[in-house]
Amino acid sequence: MSAAYDDRDGKIWMDGQLVDWRAANVHVLTHAMHYASSVFEGERAYGGTIFLSRKHSERLHFSARQLDFEIPYTVDEIEAAKVAVLAANGFTDAYVRAVAWRGAGEDMGVASKRNPVRLAIAAWEWGNYYGDAKMKGAKLDIAKWKRPSPETAPSHAKAAGLYMICTMSKHEAEAKGCSDAMMFDYRGYVAEATGANIFFVKDGEVHTPKPDCFLNGLTRQTVIGMLKDRQIKVIERHIMPEELEGFEQCWLTGTAAEVTPVGQIGDYNFEVGAVTREISESYEKLVRA
């Protein structure tokens, strides 16, 4: 599936029914296109089962409420729709994207209470998010844009608008030959990559930024549980930029990224060490169990 995303064979679930892929369209005056009134989930199916599927559906509802709208489908209905999408497209291993948004309606200003809330679910086959980085470690730039204060945006929602600075940061990173960019938060602490949480290893202990102004990813939570099950100490805290020099290993976590080792961030280098390899391999086994 290398064609443009609007020009493929297959089915997409949209507002309660499966439609032809190329027919899954919205009007140019859709509110979400103009004002970012949209939330989404990225999920992966392994062997026909979506990992943490229900948690993703529950978070989609949570994110919508943070943006002051209600999705007109229950969690159970969303779960059934995802199963239908996989079956209709004949996928067992796939990436699944659920997206809810304020559509076109009577309102076209900032307020949009009279506009319908819509929901779509698509799936496609998607390999490693960072290509061959799982073997040699991803190379990251350091972004100039910072994750915002939770007083300025609903930072714990998976809201489309929060990804604007991520797109800009990733484009700049790719122009420098990097796979992604690491972002600081509004206070100057290490936060995350543009679409993945970040972990560091030092002296056998794992350090990861406290998610107080960015998404506490489901993969992040899973990996923390895996580390604790192995009696590896996990320290969630604020991490200063100057600490990067002292860390030995680093990896990213996310539904798309899964567990991806990091070899370089700016001028700082990391080894793809034993802890990183063990967690990456164990996660691969877990999602396919």
- Give the CA diameter of the chain: 59
CB atoms < 10 A from the CB of 137, how many? Answer: 23
Cα(256)–Cα(226) distance, integer angstroms:
18
Structure tokens at 224: 């923390």
Catalytic residue flag (residue 158): yes
Which phi and psi angles does 162 have, rounded to 5°?
Answer: -70, -15
Answer yes or no: are the C-beta atoms of 185 and 137 closer than 8 Å.
no
User: Is the Cβ–Cβ distance between 96 and 50 less than 8 Å?
Assistant: yes
Secondary structure of residue 14 in the 3-state scheme: strand
**Given 11, 82, 139, 158, which residue is catalytic?**
158
Residues 6+ apart with CB under 8 A from 203: 248
Q: Do residues 12 and 18 lie in contact, with contact meaning Cβ atoms separated by under 8 Å?
A: yes
Contact 112, 35 (CB under 8 A): yes
Distance separating alpha carbons of residues 244 and 252, to the nearest angstrom: 14
Q: HSE (CB half, 13 Å, CA atoms) of 253? A: 25
| Cα–Cα distance for residue pair 255/222, rounded to 1 Å | 11
DSSP letters for 273-284: -HHHHHHHHHHH
Residue 36 burial (10 A CB sphere; 0-12, 13-18, 19+): middle
Active site residues: 158
